[in-house]
Amino acid sequence: MSSFIRKRAFASLISLIGLVVIVFFLSRLTGDPTDLFLPIEAPEEMRQQFRELNGLNDPLLVQFWNYLGDIVRLDFGVSLRRAQPAIDVVLPAFLWTLQLAAITMALVTGAAIVVGSLAAFRVGGIFDRIASLTSLIGASAPDFWVAIVAIVVFAVGLGWLPTSGTGTVWHWILPVGVLFIRPFGLIVQVVRGSMISALSSGYVKTARAKGVKSRAIIFVHALRNAMLPVITVIGDQAAALLNGAVIVETIFGFPGVGKLMIDSVLQRDFNVVLATIMITALAIFIMNLLIDLTYALLDPRIRY
């Protein structure tokens, strides 16, 4: 098991290093932040002083080498816009996104497993048809379109819910609801397909012949053996929520890491952009490692 963990951790480290290289050089292509942080009439001497203070006068490779050295010391630099350590700007926003993703995935996982399992128990029935249709629609619906429609209907039209903020439970309903739809549809489809295969296996037929109740057959005998592909999709969707909630957070004004990333790119706040991507990528790599360990525990053959 230790060898399995080391291999997965090493692969994640290589990917993380590659991501740092790509993001660092791409972020520099957005332009000189001096033009945003200083007025147009600022003298050249002031511009040079700003660049020197923030290490922007150094050659690009020197800047990258210095940045790598800082990362090793867990120093992500200072935010040009806020004049405070970049990590202090990113962590509060990341915690907001983490809460949003955790609440959404908890609701999605519970609901999708129940709906998908019940749909697979009676294939072709009314419940199966309704579940298959709604999950397919949900998996195909683009988040930005659903978010805009939700605001128009529930916030502007009916006036039931606020359009932005995090002050009360009501502020969370629209962001969570919008992010709920796509992963719910995908996971229901996978649970249904995996459960159909599990329910047609020999051990389930034996359990039925022995008079085991339907609930025990679905949620005890079949579900455990059908969980491996389901865990894969759950992990992918959880990582997608951490990495892909940018549009939803921006539309709803949610103070998460996605909105912070967009704002920092527009402001050319390089250190915050890099810190945001590093923290998010690290969280995703840790999540993927936990998923791999779950695979190994469920099926020891995967370790080899």
Dump the DSSP string for 32-68. -THHHHS-TT--HHHHHHHHHHTT-SS-HHHHHHHHH
Q: How many residues are recorded in the chain?
A: 304
- The rounded Cα 251 to chain-centroid distance in angstroms is 17
Asked, for residue 121, whether it belongs to a domain, the answer is yes
Residue 188 is part of a domain; what is its CATH number? 1.10.3720.10
Could you tell me if 283 and 277 are in contact, meaning their C-beta atoms sit under 8 angstroms apart?
no
- pLDDT over 70 at 251, yes or no: yes
Residue 219's pLDDT band (cuts 50, 70, 90): low
Domain count, the chain: 1
The region, left, alpha or beta by phi > 0 then psi within -120 to 50, assigned to residue 213 is beta
Asked, for residue 40, whether it belongs to a domain, the answer is no
Average confidence (pLDDT) over 225-246: 76
Report the SS3 class of residue 213. coil
Average confidence (pLDDT) over 119-126: 80
- pLDDT score at 264: 78
Asked, for residue 216, whether it belongs to a domain, the answer is yes
- pLDDT score at 120: 80
pTM of the model: 0.73
- pLDDT score at 220: 64
- Range of 290's domain? 86-303
- pLDDT score at 125: 81
Asked, for residue 12, whether it belongs to a domain, the answer is no
Q: What is the DSSP letter of 78?
A: B
The single-letter code of the amino acid at 44 is E
- pLDDT over 80 at 226, yes or no: no
Q: Can you name the residues that pair with 85 across neighbouring β-strands? A: 78
Could you tell me if 146 and 224 are in contact, meaning their C-beta atoms sit under 8 angstroms apart?
no
Asked, for residue 34, whether it belongs to a domain, the answer is no
Task: Name residue, tokens 């397909």.
Answer: 193
Report the SS3 class of residue 208. helix
Asked, for residue 277, whether it belongs to a domain, the answer is yes
Residue 59 CA to residue 298 CA, distance in Å, equals 50
- pLDDT score at 82: 74
Asked, for residue 132, whether it belongs to a domain, the answer is yes
Average confidence (pLDDT) over 90-117: 86
**259-289, pLDDT tens digit by residue?**
887 777 777 777 788 888 888 878 878 877 7
**62-74, pLDDT tens digit by residue?**
777 777 777 777 7
Could you tell me if 238 and 101 are in contact, meaning their C-beta atoms sit under 8 angstroms apart?
yes
C-alpha radius of gyration, the chain, whole number: 24
Q: What percent of the chain has pLDDT over 90?
A: 0
Asked, for residue 208, whether it belongs to a domain, the answer is yes
Sign of CA dihedral 235, 241, 243, 244: positive
More confident residue, 18 or 225: 18
Could you tell me if 34 and 47 are in contact, meaning their C-beta atoms sit under 8 angstroms apart?
yes
Could you tell me if 144 and 251 are in contact, meaning their C-beta atoms sit under 8 angstroms apart?
yes
- pLDDT score at 249: 80
